[in-house]
A and B are shown apart, each in its own frame.
Chain A
Amino acid sequence: MYWKYVLRRLLQSILTYVVIIFIYSALFNTVMEATLRSQINEQLQGEMMSFAKSGLSAEELKEHFDNRKEHLYEIYHLNDPIPSRIFWRAIDTLTLNFGNASNIRSATGSSDVMEIIVEKIPNTLLLFLTAAVIDVIVGIVLGLKKAQKPNKRMDRWTSILTMVVYGLPTWWLGMVMIMLFSYVIPIFPSGGVHNVPPPEGGLAYFLDMLYHLALPVLVLVIVGFWGRAYLIRNIVLGTLQEDFIMSARARGLSERRVLFGHTLRTAAPPIVTMALMSLLASISGGLIYEGIFSWPGMGNLYWIAVQQNDIPVLMGNLALTTALYLMGLVVLDLIYGLLDPRIKVGGKA
């Protein structure tokens, strides 16, 4: 039962991903090809330079150049009609063949776009996962407290605070905090994952990373947990009104057991969904945030790629981000299915 569900979800998202990549290809075809052509040109120029010394005449060189160009254009399908070109660009992306970056280089100096992007992924995850975990824990604690005494003073005031920070841009708060605590009162570093150069030794390295992690995570959590608490409060309140909660109380179970064992456990699927959704949203929306803190993650890479107009990196990053996002959605659904027996075990006996 569950495995059917898993399979279905996976297939669905793979299909969705393929469609999306085709859409990207179509949308950005012109730009991607312009880059491709100029890269081919560069490559050919390089080849011609080395040939120039071999003593061929100008016409022969030109002929060779044209032949090579035709050849490469054939391989990359650049002479085909548009639908075919879009198709081949999409295939490129789907096979993770992102090509080479125009300007950006990876930490090892490689210009392979895939490598450039993949080395950034752990940083992004480190930042947002840490913040999300803290967020959710605080959110659950606060949300439960709110749900137990709904519409009393604490509930009201925390809800108001939730609304106050609703439109607050986290990256702006990041800017302000950096200004305050990195420059005006220098406590925290102003950005990056490590000091340059990073300290030697396992523990020192780790502590240095924590030190750099502190301010970004702090800002994320300050803004984030209100919303979590509010949503959790609503979900728990909704669950508390169900008949089976009254039934559990009537059976003489302790309030603690009713709250955690029955209410929270039943509310777990929507709560987990919400937590994961907000994690996904914060990662995919965390571009600017990473940029503000010079945090070398995928989001920051976008910013740099935009500024340096490095199209291959931009496209590759977009494709990978989408893939990760979709994967996240699938994981979300699968976990939901695990937590809710109605899906895990299926229908009537």
Chain B
Amino acid sequence: MEKSLEVRNLKLHYFTSRGAVKALDDISFDLYKGETLGVVGESGCGKTTLGTALLNMPTPPGKIVGGNIIMNGQDLLTLSESQYRRDVRWEKISMVFQGAMNCLTPVYTIYNQMMETIQYHRDMEKSEADARIRKYINLVGLSDDVLRRYPHELSGGMKQRIVIATGLFLEPNVVICDEPTTALDVVVQAQIINLLKELKKELSLSFIFITHDLATEAEVADRIMVMYAGKVAEIGSNEEIFGAAGPMHPYTKKLLVATPRLHERVDKLAFIPGVPPDLLDPPTGCRFYPRCSEVMPKCSQEEPPITEVSPGHKVACWRCA
């Protein structure tokens, strides 16, 4: 399969007054054309940071300190800021943000903002741009009417759809969705998920779908990447992670167990004891070892390598090495 994106050894640190927080520590993965890669993990594991890193827009005081982001054979990180702005952002990689509530500038109409984005990137005739905007607004299930509205006049669900439309309408290679449904109620959530699934089919774009909600992930993702404390724990296909055989990494296992099932009776909620490590000074060895139930002595001494237990299924665990 053709690769949309290759990320190799990506490192991002937040340089705070207390020291460097290693938010992304040696992240590597591939994204294939037309597939949805789900990225899951606890809060603070680096999921959103990954999103902003791919756009080369780390939140200050963050800085990318190493690694490659390869698209069409070119390492995007070698580009200058203005090149990145012109050629990559929204052209090749776009992002649908978390909490779209506040992602649209309150003083301009939707139409204005979308038109502005198109005109910044493409040399289109106004009529052509207009048609493109309307096409995508309709695609996400909204009527043309919303175009002349201001953001505050719209509901959360509508805004989320607009943000999705904006992320798609330049038809970039990669669309990063960062918790697109977290801020919405379940009914709207279901609508958005269905919408994304349809769009995926129709537009054959590659998605990176970031969320902490395993259930949603299981719905939309073709392949799943589990992150923990700035590192990749496990990457596998939907079937490999959620299927009957179950995942390989102890953390992933625990995650699945901790998700309550709708039709099972639960006397006690399962949880993972402890807290994620402080990324200012992470523990030596495997970052999960303090909370792992399958821990071995080796785990606290050396970082586990990434082992490919079956084609496409990678695990970072000594038990699988």
* Chain A residues at the B interface, C-beta cutoff of 8 Å: 242-244, 246-254, 257, 261-262, 265-266, 268, 339-342, 345-349
CB distance from A16 to the nearest CB of B (A): 29
Residue B305 interfacial (CB < 8 Å): no
* Chain B residues at the A interface, C-beta cutoff of 8 Å: 55, 57, 59, 85-86, 88-91, 94-95, 97, 99, 101-108, 116-117, 120-121, 146, 149-150, 152-155, 163, 166
CB distance from B82 to the nearest CB of A (A): 8
**What is the chain A residue whose CB lies nearest that of B87?**
A252
CB distance from B317 to the nearest CB of A (A): 35
Query: Judging by beta carbons under 8 Å apart, are B95 and A250 in contact?
Result: yes
Q: Known: A342-B150, A349-B149, A349-B154. Is A251-B117 also a contact (CB below 8 A)?
A: yes
Chain B residues, CB < 8 A from A345: 150, 153
**Assembly CA distance A261 to B85 (angstroms):** 17
Query: Judging by beta carbons under 8 Å apart, are B90 and A251 in contact?
Result: yes
**Assembly CA distance A347 to B102 (angstroms):** 16
Chain A residues, CB < 8 A from B95: 250
Q: Known: A266-B106, A341-B106, A342-B106. Is A243-B97 also a contact (CB below 8 A)?
A: yes
Chain A residues, CB < 8 A from B90: 250-252
**What is the chain A residue whose CB lies nearest that of B101?**
A243
**What is the chain A residue whose CB lies nearest that of B176?**
A250
Most chain B CB atoms below 10 A, which of A243, A250, A341 = A250
Chain A residues, CB < 8 A from B85: 252-254
**Assembly CA distance A265 to B107 (angstroms):** 7
**Assembly CA distance A57 to B30 (angstroms):** 120
Query: Judging by beta carbons under 8 Å apart, are A252 and B57 in contact?
Result: no
Query: Judging by beta carbons under 8 Å apart, are A243 and B102 in contact?
Result: yes
Chain A residues, CB < 8 A from B150: 341-342, 345
Query: Judging by beta carbons under 8 Å apart, are A247 and B107 in contact?
Result: no
Chain B residues, CB < 8 A from A243: 97, 99, 101-103
Query: Judging by beta carbons under 8 Å apart, are B153 and A349 in contact?
Result: yes
CB distance from A57 to the nearest CB of B (A): 82
Query: Judging by beta carbons under 8 Å apart, are B120 and A244 in contact?
Result: no
Chain A residues, CB < 8 A from B149: 349
Query: Judging by beta carbons under 8 Å apart, are B55 and A244 in contact?
Result: no
CB distance from B188 to the nearest CB of A (A): 15
Chain B residues, CB < 8 A from A262: 105, 108
Query: Judging by beta carbons under 8 Å apart, are B153 and A244 in contact?
Result: no
Query: Judging by beta carbons under 8 Å apart, are B120 and A247 in contact?
Result: no
Question: Can you name 29 A-B residue pairings with CB atoms under 8 Å?
Answer: A243-B97, A243-B101, A243-B103, A244-B104, A244-B105, A246-B57, A246-B59, A247-B97, A249-B89, A251-B89, A251-B90, A252-B86, A252-B89, A252-B117, A253-B85, A253-B116, A262-B108, A266-B105, A266-B106, A266-B107, A340-B107, A341-B106, A345-B153, A346-B153, A347-B152, A348-B152, A348-B155, A349-B149, A349-B154
